[in-house]
Amino acid sequence: MYRLAEIAYGLRQRPVYVVNLPPTSASLLPEWIRPLHKSQIDKVTDAILLFEESALVAFSRSWYSSFNKLLSKLNAIAYHKRQSHIYVVQNMSLLDRNVISMIDVLMLKDYNYVQYKLEREELREIVGTAAIMLRQIPPSERVRYAVVIGLYDYPPFLFEYKLASFWKEELAYIWEKYSFESERAEATTMTEQIERLVVEGKAKSWKDLKPYFPQAKDQTLRVLFRRVKKRLAE
């Protein structure tokens, strides 16, 4: 990700931001890469936004959250804001489906068999294509390569992924100090609150929600409870 950002910055010197970067990790990056809170992503223009470990920002199971909806809308107008987004995720099934649907180019590293089998069905053919191409590379060297799919009219091709010039070993653990405390403190939607209650075992039926949402209609609680249970079962 940082190598791609370095190449893009060298071309036009556009501002580069890492979304939700832990403040304690900012000193590991050069001055031209700055942290940006996720609440500010619609405030910048003509910039490159890096979403490293993007499941922390746009988690697939949080598809209903207010932020995921905002991000989907931002992707729809990113061209108008002259924003370029780079998402890095260990498995695409962790990333919000709406974000994936707006992606122009995929850069795929090697999947293991379990990751491949658990990937979304509509993406397995793409992942399988990348896997076949990566098998051309000796296993000891494969970590340095990725398969690029969707770049203009080019067919899928192998790309040797070099490290950024400012790379240091500490960057491999840049999220070590990341904490979920701020997320717990943020205001959540009713659906998010219901999911938390279900996961914690405090709501085993929609009726268990009534003490927590005394102003909500029974039909609303039934619908949201069923929706959350279905989502958690996926």
Q: Please state the pTM of the whole predicted model.
A: 0.70
Residues 5-54 pLDDT 10s: 888 888 888 899 988 887 778 888 888 998 888 888 889 999 999 888 87
Q: Which CATH superfamily is domain 2-182 in?
A: P-loop containing nucleotide triphosphate hydrolases (3.40.50.300)
The answer on pLDDT for 133 being more than 80 is yes
pLDDT of residue 63: 65
As a whole number, the mean pLDDT across the chain is 84
What is the residue extent of each domain of the chain?
2-182, 188-233
Instruction: Give the whole-angstrom CA distance, residue 62 versus residue 57.
Output: 9
Instruction: Give the whole-angstrom CA distance, residue 232 versus residue 230.
Output: 6
Q: Which residues contact 194 (CB under 8 A, 6 or more apart)?
A: 203, 209, 221, 224, 225, 228
Cβ(147)–Cβ(107) below 8 Å? yes
Which has the minimum average pLDDT: 20-29, 133-142, 221-230? 20-29
pLDDT band for 143, please (50, 70, 90 cuts): confident
